[in-house]
Amino acid sequence: MESKTRRRGIAVRILEDAFWFRQRGAALSYAILAAMLLILAIVVPQTFYSATNLSNLASQLAPLFLVSLGQTFVLLGAGFDLSVGAVISLSSAILTLDLADPVKIPLAFAAAGSVGLVNGWGCVYLRVHPIIMTLATSSVVQGVALLLLPTPGGIAPRILVQMASGTFLGLPVGFYWIVGASAAAIWLVHGATYGIRLYATGQNPQAAWMSGIRAPRIRVSTYVISALMAALAGAYLTGRLASGDPNVGSALGLDSVLGAALGGTLLSGGVGGPIGTVAGVLIIGILNNGLNLAGVSPYYQFIVKGSMLVLAVSLFRRKEAGL
């Protein structure tokens, strides 16, 4: 008995959380990632491991990192957010409105936060199925984005352009967005009280509520986090393109689920986490990048991506069939 009692420092805890307690799948994701890096090192070493390519990769992957990390929170809380793509588009549309920067930047995040609140309210308090609720809001939000900005264009706030392009201390800025968002998400899930309550809520909302956790609020908060992360991704994309696009997010919505799922986060809630998502997003990004470098037709990339999605869910299988 005594021999078993050992102190669990925060580093140990994160490792245990990541690879055994709650994210059993993450180890597998990292193994796949390592295998891919190894293959690339053998097949296309010069092109893949070049500074230009890696910094391109960081800039391209930053938005996917943001939304996938946001989606991870929703999935951990046993929800599902299909509206992130539309929210990215909405924030891009708002950020290129003909308004002063100090007005439209807060406005974009407030709008995204409200979408998150509506999603959470509908799924949690009105008990509508998350897929239906977020499909419905994504339709509405996409409509609003198109009303505000019917065609790509507009001028992005200068501060965003600066924050989303170029390099800082020799590294591409996208890299800092990735590291910042990942660190914040990992701390929130594994370091803060919020994380334990989120896992508890995702596994069994009733039991969590009985333990005095305000489970409904936690679940709503995941949708708000996801929407805010999507708005952040929209801000980054708008800054990088230096203009708005009302359809910029459409592809990212599904990719966010793919990133989280490839990282071992289960769609049934309470299992997984941002550490795995980091690996999941890297797998997607490096695969796309590798296929491009190898000169594979974009048509085949569709097929590869779809197969990966199926592969991801079959690696982390569940007990029951269905949704």
Partner 1 sequence: MKRFLLSLPPAFWGLIAVCVFAAFTQPQFLSLPFLMILLRQAAPLGIVALGQTFVVANRSLDLSVGATIAFVNLIVAHAMWNGYPPAFVIAVALCVGLVIGLVNGLLVTVLRASAVVVTLGTAAVITGIGFLYSGGAPGSSMAELVKWLGRGRIGVVPVSGLACLAFGILAWILLRRLTLGRYIFAAGDNPSAASYSGIPVNTTLLLSHLLSGLFAASGGVLLSGLVGVGSLNLGADYVLSSIAAVILGGAVFGGGAGSAVGTMLGTALLVMVLNLLTVFGVDQPGKLIVQGLVIAVAAIIYQQGRRG
Partner 2 sequence: MSFGAVQALKAMQLVGHAGKVHAVMGENGAGKSTLMKLLSGVYRPDSGTIRLNGEVMSFDHPRDAQDAGISTIFQEFSLLPNLSVAENLFLGREVENGRTLSAGAMRRRTVEALAELDLRIDPDRRVGSLSVGQQQMVEIAKGVVADASVFIFDEPTAALASHEVETLFALIRRLTARGKCVFYISHRLSEVFAICDDVTIMKDGAFVLRVPTAETTVDEVIRGMVGRPIEELFESRAEALGPILLASEALVGERAPAPLSLRIHEGEIVGIAGLEGQGQQQLMRLIAGFDPVRSGTLELAGRPIGGRTARQRMAAGIGFVPESRKDDGLFLSLDIGANMTTAAIARRPLLSWVPHLGARIADVMKRLAVKAPDAKTPVVDLSGGNQQKVVLGRWLLAGARVLLCEEPTRGVDVGAKREIYRQLREFTREGRGILVTSRELPELIGLCDRLLVIRNGAIVAEMDARDATEDELLRSALPAVESEAA
If one asks whether residue 193 binds partner 2 (CB under 8 A), the answer comes out as yes
Our CB check for partner 1 shows the closer of 133 and 178 to be 133
Look up tokens 């930047």; give the residue.
105
CB of 113 to partner 1, least distance (A): 18
Kindly state the tokens that stand for 285: 């990004």
If one asks whether residue 52 binds partner 2 (CB under 8 A), the answer comes out as no
Distance CA(122)–CA(289), nearest Å, equals 38
Kindly state the tokens that stand for 59: 């800039």
Given partner 2, partner 1, none, residue 196, with its beta carbon under 5 to 8 Å by kind, binds: partner 2
If one asks whether residue 197 binds partner 2 (CB under 8 A), the answer comes out as yes
Q: Is there a contact between 69 and 228 (Cβ–Cβ < 8 Å)?
A: no
Given partner 1, partner 2, none, residue 211, with its beta carbon under 5 to 8 Å by kind, binds: partner 2
Our CB check for partner 1 shows the closer of 6 and 127 to be 127
Distance CA(121)–CA(128), nearest Å, equals 9
CB of 216 to partner 1, least distance (A): 15
The distance from CA 248 to its chain's CA centroid, rounded to whole angstroms, is: 16
Please give the residue ranges that form the binding site for partner 1 (CB under 8 A). 80, 122, 126-129, 131-133, 135-147, 150, 254, 257-258, 261, 267, 297-310, 312-314, 317-323
- Give whole-number Cα distances, 213 to 74, 117, 166, 208, 319, in Å: 17, 19, 44, 5, 27
Given partner 1, partner 2, none, residue 10, with its beta carbon under 5 to 8 Å by kind, binds: partner 2
Our CB check for partner 2 shows the closer of 104 and 197 to be 197
Our CB check for partner 1 shows the closer of 90 and 173 to be 90
DSSP letter string, 284-320? HHHHHHHHHHTT--HHHHHHHHHHHHHHHHHHS--SS
Distance CA(152)–CA(106), nearest Å, equals 21
If one asks whether residue 128 binds partner 2 (CB under 8 A), the answer comes out as no
Residues in touch with partner 2 (CB under 8 A): 1, 4-10, 13, 21-22, 187, 191-193, 195-197, 199-200, 203-204, 206-214, 270-271
